[in-house]
Structure 1
């Protein structure tokens, strides 16, 4: 577990799994792969095997030993719902999140149908507890179907990360969604994000009363373009207590 992180919308990361495989163009320039592959073949390094999928059972209990409450991004270096991760291991991750319930967990996936199926099997007819936020990553209109899977999932707090935003997403149904993050791609070959794509999502969030967080413009480095959208930062979070958000007027 990393006790700090440069990811603006979370406090820490926890990676009981590392490594992944690419499924859509949003994966093309994956930052986690780029970082991991730097250390492939380095004896004794945690990423000696690069970005190959790897279960790390020795990390399963880490949140239980961290007593100060944190927002924790789960599997920042993988996808918890990768088809090659055994259900029993996913169960163990959820067991820890349920036990260490003083933290808030942010679980993000591109494998939205597998997540929805898992949550139905674990929680139906109830919902996942509100300290476990479940989200999907959407990079363009083609992959907005993940939002449909998320809306149908039995989760108390649902969020969407439009990052890296690679094209317009168009009109989306934000019914039941608590939080939306927008961010541009970063890295040596980062593809640019159009301001209108971000504003379209922001305006839909305002109408639907969904908390809106603008993470970054991106560029060669994550902070290259800054975080201002039309002259201001957007740092809204969902209010877990009321499962709503107090929205500020847009400038």
Structure 2
């Protein structure tokens, strides 16, 4: 539940909460649910209760024991801003992140208005620390209200995870957005992602000077379709110049 990960845009995962419930079409084929439910009823397994939402207070200080700096994805198996996660518990997660400031923490939610309201209360006089990156998932153009929630949040680094991209995004307002990740769905019921949907997002990021990261095409397995777009790998991070993080693989 903690440590290394195969997710391309992070180094480690930290899950002080596990389990979730679905709120939009992007959740339909949730990889975390699929994985967790395999172990429902297995005595002693971390996912003995499947994908039921559980607080894990024993994990709250795990990042403090990791002495070398890491990029840490917070709650890869849940959503920290689920309505059933009480704010006093969220406070404890943020307390740990603030103390462990040698790491970079990436928090991703579909409950973007709840995150905005929490962050704006906690950091009412200044932006959230720069080592705490705050993002929301946007699966198609019908969910662009989440982008507006991010733009109204008092954060230093704001990002979008456009994954799984299940429909065209259309025109996006990227003002104040620092990073955009795009990826296709994976798993046995993976929905296809059209190349023009990805290009549309990439081109808007390039025009706006926003870092762009293309994670995967998706398919039965995450790596099934590779991760090159028009002969390039796009690996940009928020701290990089727009021309960095682009690797040509056209000759392969």
**1:40 CA drift (Å):** 0.1
* SS at 1:212 equivalent: strand
Q: Give the TM-score normalised by structure 1.
A: 0.96
Aligned length: 247
Deviations 1:55-86 (A, max 9, x none): 00000000000000000000000000000001
Secondary structure of the residue that 1:155 maps to in structure 2? coil
TM superposition shift of 1:3: 1.9
The residue number in structure 2 matching 1:130 is 130
Distance 1:117 1:2 in 2: 28
TM superposition score normalised by structure 2: 0.96
- 1:247 counterpart residue number: 243
**What does residue range 203-214 of structure 1 map to in structure 2 within 5 Å?**
203-214=203-214
Contact 1:209 1:247 in 2 (8 A): no
Does 1:86 find its partner at 2:82? no
Pairwise mapping of residues 1-251 of structure 1 onto structure 2 (< 5 A)? 1-239=1-239, 245-248=241-244
Deviation at 1:238, TM superposition (A): 1.0
Cα deviation for residue 250 of structure 1 reads 10
Structure 1 unmatched runs, 5+: none
Structure 1: 4+ residue segments shifted above 6 A: none
Q: Matched residues in 2 for 1:26 and 1:227: separation?
A: 20
Deviations 1:202-251 (A, max 9, x none): 00000110000000000000000000101110000011xxxx63425898
Contact kept, 8 Å, 2:183 with 2:217, in 1: the verdict is yes
On the 8 A contact 2:234/2:247 being kept in 1, the answer is no
Counterpart contact for 2:212–2:237, Cα < 8 Å: yes
Sort the Cα spacing of 1:246 and 1:141 in 2 relative to 1 into closer, same or farther, 3 A: closer
Secondary structure in structure 2 of the residue aligned to 1:170: coil
5+ residue gaps in structure 2? none
The CA distance in 2 between the partners of 1:137 and 1:209, in whole Å, is: 20
Question: Distance between the aligned counterparts of 1:93 and 1:230, measured in 2?
Answer: 40
What is the RMSD of the two structures over their aligned residues, measured on CA atoms?
A: 1.2
3-state SS in 2 of match to 1:150: helix
1 CA distance for matches of 2:166 and 2:179? 19
